[in-house]
């Protein structure tokens, strides 16, 4: 039995390695980890106006203090959102917020993690978090954080396209 020479062996190993690498790259590319980049259309098609987000926010903050203690509004490419903080809140205010959210049938619970309780409505997200002392200030004993918005990479947008596709 005659063994192939070293040059033919190196060529064969190189071809097999290349085929294996192409196969592995295809498997990684087609996994769930990267599918959100593949399955969802360009965000510019879906991005709402900030006024749409504001309209979703209004019934959520109904009967809460009129002016939040801190508000951040993001309206740029890939993001449209409101982030509100109410400081030194009472249990009644927390209950009111929960009632406002659960009283609307469009907001569906998604998950709870370190960022808070997350709800979805189509591609929009709502995050609610209550907490103790905020930042470095001893004057703030409790807070409510509310975020309503849309962004191109949110779990709600991903879920929307998975369920509609």
Instruction: Note whether residue 1 is domain-resident.
Output: no
- Angle (deg, nearest 10), helices 32-39 and 6-29: 70
Residue 38 lies in a domain: no
pLDDT in tens, 117-149: 999 999 999 999 988 766 656 777 788 999 999
| 70 and 146 belong to one structural domain | yes
50-91 pLDDT tens trace: 999 999 999 999 999 889 999 999 999 889 999 999 998 889
Instruction: Domain count for the chain, please give it.
Output: 2
Where in the sequence is the domain holding 21, given as residue range(s)? 6-30
Residue partners of 68: CB distance under 8 A and separation at least 6: 61, 84, 85, 86
Do 60 and 141 sit in the same domain of this protein? yes
Q: Are 15 and 79 part of one and the same domain?
A: no
Residues 10 and 50 in one domain: no
In a domain, 35, yes or no: no
Both 53 and 25 in one domain: the answer is no
């Amino acid at each position: 039995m005659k063994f192939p020479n070293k040059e033919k062996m190196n060529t064969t190993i190189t071809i097999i390695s290349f085929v294996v690498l192409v196969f592995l790259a295809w498997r990684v590319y087609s996994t769930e980890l990267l599918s959100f980049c593949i399955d969802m259309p360009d965000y510019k098609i879906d991005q709402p106006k900030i006024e749409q987000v504001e309209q979703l926010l209004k019934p959520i903050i109904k009967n809460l203090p009129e002016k939040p203690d801190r508000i951040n509004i993001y309206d740029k490419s890939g993001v449209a959102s409101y982030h509100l903080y109410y400081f030194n809140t009472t249990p009644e205010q927390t209950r009111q917020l929960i009632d406002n959210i659960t009283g609307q049938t469009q907001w569906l619970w998604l998950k709870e993690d370190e960022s808070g309780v997350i709800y979805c409505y189509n591609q929009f997200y709502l995050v609610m978090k209550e907490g103790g002392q905020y930042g470095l200030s001893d004057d703030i004993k409790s807070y409510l954080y509310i975020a309503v918005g849309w962004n191109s990479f949110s779990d709600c947008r991903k879920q929307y396209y998975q369920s509609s596709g």
